[in-house]
Amino acid sequence: MKDGFVKVACVTPEVRVADVGFNVEETIKRALEAGAAGAKVIVFPELNLTSYTCGDLFFQERLLRNAREGLIRVAEATKSVDALLFVGLPLAVEGELYNVAAALNHGRILGFVTKSFLPNYGEFYEMRQFAEGPSEPRDIVFEGEVVPLGTKLLFCASKLESLIVGAEICEDLWSPIPPSIEMALEGATVIANLSASNELVGKEAYREELVKGQAARIICGYLYANAGSGESTTDVVFGGHNLIAENGSLLAEGERFVEGITYSEIDTKRILTERQKNTTFQTNGKRALRRIPFDIEFAETTLSRTFKRLPFVPMDQTEMNCRCEEILELQARGLCKRLRHIGGKKVVLGISGGLDSTLALMVVAKAFDYLELDKKGIIAITMPAFGTTDRTYQNACELVKGIGATLREINIKEAVLQHFADINQDPELHDVTYENSQARERTQVLMDVANQEGGLVIGTGDMSELALGWATYNGDHMSMYGVNASIPKTLVRHLVTYYAGVWEDEKMAKVLLDIVDTPVSPELIPAKDGEIVQKTEDLVGPYELHDFFLYYFLRFGYDTEKILRIAKLAFAGEYEEETIRKWLKIFTRRFFSQQFKRSCLPDGVKVGSVALSPRGDWRMPSDAVSDGFSI
């Protein structure tokens, strides 16, 4: 748990209505099972020791006494379970009957959390049996021990500062102001909900959205344990729909109408990082909730939750298509505003036959459509040099023609050779000067043609290149507006692929797909037998790894050791640990050493939650060192 991952469990045990003895044994069995599986927070459904659907049997002294005795048995039997347990039962206190969640830890009863909102509509009539909990916690005596009772209770792990747990009961979540809001504002990173939510047509999806929405709103882990099919079906049916969510994402979901345990892991440190970054999530100065410590052992959590290899790219194809269209529109609309502002009707961009310049051209064409401008005002310049291959050259030319833009070819070989002579550079020495001289010459050409045409130079570099500093300073690093500045390389590839799928011209679609299949290269080193020699991913590493590192480093502030751990899971079977470790070290070193290039980026629209603009999302000193961040 040192990296903040805490294994959690939502349990739907088999129940018999009003059979406390049976229900207690099932609760113990499932608690031991979840504990043996490593769960550190275990949540049972609402009133699970008696069953939820007892009706007026809740007024029977025998049932209430059995529930109290049953709770003691559960506590005794779970002494060895290294977890915080929440068990539901009716509790009679000083003439009032409460619907409570009992918090247990190593055989101790830590507190009774009372239900705040009692539904009394439709199929629910809880006010007939139960009273609302006290507005402020109070101490009661339970079997000779003083135990707090109320809604304002938080349970804090003594050995893991990031694990603070609050509890609410069923309808509390469905109310306008759930108690979990105050709990989160006072530090709760995990909310347990003991629920008995019956099934209705369409309710499954609504319940899921409700849980995800609350987890997102209060930036927490949310554990929703629901009553199952053993409840009475006199008028309603229960499905045991268990849900585990984290900050808006559903991590795990139990199968309905099947008793069992749903597991996942909550990343408590990620939750704290998200809250620290969110300036509207402000904790209350005054602490109104009572904090109760509990003990769990410090251990590394075995992870069952999955991590996408391509975190910037949706897995579902339908969602992917919608996302691509939205991203392209955002990019194009940003450019539209800039062109309107300056009264521009022309743009200039370099076109290489590679992914980035292809996407930039697509964006520019879309912007010109929105503005109803003549696409002849798109001046796309191909600038062959020493490493240009026929494949990329032909693809670039065909693409520009297909768009209907103006194609210009300016061969820069002689200009670069003259520059080599001016600075006494050996043309046979293929070093960084050899490469960057070509990149800077291309940028000079674009800038000067823009002056001639009264146009705007469009930058084509992507966010992955910016993260690694894989750009020539004052070369391809510079432009007048960078449309791809917040698009990672893995997403660029999918965007171009998407465009190929929706382009009605079959010939142009083939050109786009060939561009997707072309190795990523700046083409600054002479080709061999007409083939690209300089392959970027051979030099700086696979972009799918770097984008993975970038996402978790920037979006959630993960430590590099934690990134390595989840990368090993995400890329299992594709990369060995040493390979991932090698490229992670390179990513960290380059990300820190190349900040000076990002500190003076041109404007460019932000389209996702991760961006590197020095004016917006990422403000980092150029002289920060990476030593303390390396693995």
Cα radius of gyration rounded to whole Å, the chain:
30
Alpha-carbon distance of 448 to 412, in angstroms, equals 14
User: Which H or E element spans position 380?
Assistant: strand 378-382
Alpha-carbon distance of 445 to 382, in angstroms, equals 10
Question: Which one from 10, 26, 40, 115 is the annotated catalytic residue?
Answer: 115
Active site residue 428: no
Question: Which one from 10, 170, 220, 324 is the annotated catalytic residue?
Answer: 170
Question: Which one from 7, 10, 26, 46 is the annotated catalytic residue?
Answer: 46
- Burial bucket for residue 68 (CB in 10 Å: 0-12, 13-18, 19+): middle
**Largest interatomic CA distance in the chain:** 100
Residue 1 tokens read as 């748990």
Alpha-carbon distance of 474 to 462, in angstroms, equals 15
Alpha-carbon distance of 537 to 123, in angstroms, equals 61
Q: What is the 3-state secondary structure (H, E, C) of 539-575?
A: HHCCHHHHHHHHHHHHHCCCCHHHHHHHHHHHCCCCC
Cβ density class 160-186: b for 16+ within 10 Å, e for less: bebbbbbbbbbbbbeeeebbbbbbbbb
Active site residue 413: no
In the chain, the amino acid numbered 219 is: I
Residues in the chain: 631
Residue with tokens 């269209």: 325
Active site residue 231: no
Alpha-carbon distance of 550 to 491, in angstroms, equals 13
Residue 109 tokens read as 């009863």
Alpha-carbon distance of 147 to 211, in angstroms, equals 29
Residue 281 tokens read as 């999530």
Residue 47 tokens read as 């009133």
12 forms beta bridges with: 260
Alpha-carbon distance of 263 to 247, in angstroms, equals 17
Alpha-carbon distance of 210 to 338, in angstroms, equals 40
Residue 383 tokens read as 């600038």
Residue 417 tokens read as 């050779």
Q: How far is CA 18 from CA 62, 64, 131, 574, in A?
A: 10, 10, 20, 53
CB 90, CB 132: distance < 8 Å = no
Alpha-carbon distance of 472 to 180, in angstroms, equals 50
For residue 39, give every residue at least 6 positions away whose Cβ sits within 8 Å of its Cβ, in sequence order, or none.
Answer: 7, 8, 9, 83, 261, 263
Alpha-carbon distance of 99 to 128, in angstroms, equals 12
Q: How far is CA 489 from CA 364, 542, 546, 599, in A?
A: 18, 10, 9, 20
Query: CA 169, 170, 176, 180: dihedral to nearest 10 degrees?
Result: 40
Alpha-carbon distance of 626 to 584, in angstroms, equals 12
Residues identified as active-site: 46, 115, 170
